[in-house]
Structure 1
Amino acid sequence: MEALREEYHRGYTMLREAIQGLSEEELRFKPAPDKWSIHQILIHVTDSEILSTHRLKKVLAEDEPLLISFDQNAWVKQLDYDSLDREQHLLLFHMLRASMRPILDQLTDEQAERVGVYPDAERFTFLQLLEFRVQHVRDHLAQIQRVRDAYRQSQG
């Protein structure tokens, strides 16, 4: 659990390191019309974090609460991620993760096993939801690297 908690807390730093030194052109590059730019990925990671922080807290505070998902592609398009402030979103991600530190530092084994339920009746423990948050950042770090590689290939 300690390693999971530590990686969760390092998420912001890991995202910052992944984009360090990139130009605005690299950050806005889309490898294909239906693929996300690094800029869009970062906005998405933050929007997902907003909702997921809410889910994590609901599971700890309420008895078997209903958990709701979101249509990530609709958010990218309908909220015009290209026009949103990337730095503002990265700072928000940082603050959301930091706000969870005291909760995670005090987490008991019993709390880690509390359950939330999705509308399709799928059930997840707090620990599973926390693991998803860590994996979500890992997945998007890999996606950022793929976009960086595609940008380099497009230039050469």
Structure 2
Amino acid sequence: MRQAEKSEYPQHKYFSRYIEYSDSQDVIEMLIKQKEEVLFLMKNLSVEQQKYRYAEGKWSIQELLGHITDTERIFSYRSVCIARGEKNPLPGFDENEYMEAANFESQPFEDLLEQYRLVRESSIALYRSMTEDVASRMGNANGFAVSARAYAWAIAGHEAHHLSIIRERYLG
């Protein structure tokens, strides 16, 4: 699947940054490598590392893992809707409101890691199944025109962004 063109996604500071985050030419390969990296990085974290917050009001690694998984679920859902020709606008979401409603801190870390793995494998299968024609279909999400393909790149870029933060600020 080729990278989304600028006309296929909003030039919003977050969305465009996620898509442009990678120099990879193969989003499926990137998603697979990220999955392996996350599972390797997180499987041996101590409870203290899982719960660590680098500053007051910041999410823990456990919460970040839940957030990454939730965001991928939402982006994949939007991608499916657009790929299938949905004409109705798809709603946005507020990551902070979702975090307040989530119970990531009370869930076993191993369960969150398994949810991440399953969601990622589902996303990989979804994007592998898309032809270029299907992947380039346009829809409306959060008030912006966006292609189904753009969400594959946004998922990869969103995770790359958070992995960078985890390495720098949590595990430094």
For the aligned pair, the TM-score class normalised by the smaller chain equals 0.7 to 0.9
Amino acid corresponding to residue 41 of structure 2 in structure 1? A
CA RMSD of aligned residues (A): 1.9
* Residue matched to 2:108: 85
DSSP-derived class of the 1:10 partner: helix
Q: Which residue pairs with 1:154 in the alignment? A: none
Per-residue deviation, 1:106: 3.3
More helix by share: 1
Matched, 1:130 2:160: no
Distance in structure 2 (CA, Å) of the matches to 1:89 and 1:68: 25
CA contact (8 A) 2:53 2:170 kept: yes
**Helix, strand or coil at the partner of 1:101:** helix
Structure 2 stretches lacking a partner, 5+ long: 2-24
CA shift, 1:139, in A, is 0.7
Structure 1 residue 66, shift from structure 2 partner? 2.1
Any gaps of 5 or more consecutive residues in structure 1?
150-156
Measured in 1, the distance between the counterparts of 2:129 and 2:99 equals 35
Question: Counterpart in 1 of 2:27?
Answer: 4
**Do structure 1's residue 28 and structure 2's residue 60 form an aligned pair?**
no
Report the secondary structure of 2:26's partner residue.
helix
With 110-119 and 62-71 compared, the bigger mean Cα shift is at 62-71
So what's the TM-score if we normalise by structure 1?
0.83
Q: Which has the higher contact order (CA 8 A, sep 6+)?
A: 2
Alignment of 1:93-104 (within 5 A): 93-104=116-127
Residue correspondences, number: 148
Percent identity of paired positions between Structure 1 and Structure 2: 23
2:38 maps to 15
Q: Which runs of 4+ in 1 moved over 6 A?
A: none
